[in-house]
Amino acid sequence: MKTNLSVNINKIATLRNARGENDPDVQQVAVDCERFGADGITVHPRPDERHIRRADVMTLRPLVKTEFNIEGYPSPEFMDLVLKVKPEQVTLVPDAPDALTSNAGWNVAAHFEFLSNIVDTLREAGIRTSIFVDTDPENIKMAAKAGADRVELFTKPYADMYPTDPEKAVAPYVVASIAAHKAGLGVNAGHDLSLENLKYFHEQVPYLNEVSIGHALISSAIYLGLETTIKRYKECLV
C-alpha cells in the first residue's frame, strides 16, 4: 500500500517568528512542499503560538491542496479552530500547553469518555480523526472503541533504539500496526523519523498509511535543499 508523506512545517514558523517578519514565508513553504511531492501538510498550533499561529492555520486552509492535518490537544480553543478550518484530518495529542514537543501517547482508557466525545464532534463535522498513541495493542483497541479512524504511533522510542538494534526497535511497531489494522484503524506514524531510519521502518511495519515528519526533514533541508529532501523522504517510502 502507498504510504503518504505529510510535512510538518512548524519549524519553518519557528524560524520566521525569530525575526518577527515573514521570512521564511510559511504559506509559500507549504505550497512548495506540495509542489516538490509532499502528500500532505501538518501543523501543530500551540496555545502560546510559538511556531504556527492560529492565523497561519486559517491562511493555509485554502492553499493546501493535498491533505491538511492539524495536530493538537483538544482544548475548547483548539476545537473551535479545527471546526472552523475543517482539515481533512485532526490528530489528537495529549500535550500539556507548555510541552516542548510530544513525548507520549494517550492513555485512551483513562480518557475514554473525553476522547469519544471529541471524536464524535469531529466526525459530525466530516473530519477524520487520529489518536496519538504508544504501541500497546490494548490501548490501540481502545482508540478504535472511542471511534477514531486512525492511530498515530509515537516513534521516538524506535528512533532512539534504531542505531543500536533496529530489529528490536521496530518489533513493537509491527505488533501495534497489525493490532490497529485488525481493529479497523488506519495507521499513521511520527516523531524523530528521519532519512536514517525511515526506510527500514517503512519496510518492516505493515498497513502504514502516513508518516508525519517535521524537525528532521526541515533540518535535512538546510543541507540538501527542500526539494531534494522531500524527494529523498519519498524514496524511503517506495
Domains held by the chain: number: 1
CA distance linking residue 123 with residue 130, whole number of Å: 11
Instruction: Write out the E strands in 15-99.
Output: 40-43, 68-72, 89-92
Show the cell assigned to 170.
Answer: 521496530
Domain range holding 90?
4-236
**Catalytic site residue from 44, 67, 152, 210:** 44
Cis peptide bond upstream of 97, omega within 30: no
Beta bridge partners of residue 208, listed in sequence order? 187
Region of 225 please: left (phi>0), alpha (psi -120 to 50) or beta: left
Whether 44 sits among the annotated catalytic residues: the reply is: yes
Decide: residue 19, CB within 10 A, 0-12 exposed, 13-18 middle, 19+ buried. Answer: exposed
Using the Cα atoms of residue 203, residue 71, residue 82 and residue 138 in order, give the sign of their dihedral. Answer: positive
Are 218 and 25 within 8 A, CB to CB?
A: no
Q: For cell 498509511, what's the residue?
A: 209
Catalytic residue among 51, 67, 152, 191: 191
**Catalytic residue check, 181:** no
d(CA 123, CA 100): 29
For the whole model, what pTM was predicted?
0.95
Its sign, for the CA torsion 81, 83, 84, 87, is: positive
- Identify the pLDDT of residue 95: 80
The active-site residue out of 34, 71, 152, 210 is 71
Contact indicator for 177, 187 with CB cutoff of 8 Å:
yes
CB neighbours of residue 20 within 10 Å: 7
Distance CA 17, CA 26 (A): 10
Q: What pLDDT score was predicted for residue 97?
A: 66
Give yes or no for a contact between 63 and 90, defined as CB atoms under 8 angstroms apart: no
In angstroms, the CA 220 to CA 110 distance is 38
CATH of the domain at 73: 3.20.20.70
pLDDT means over runs of 10, the chain (238 residues)? 96 96 97 98 95 97 98 96 98 79 86 98 98 98 98 98 98 98 98 98 98 98 98 98
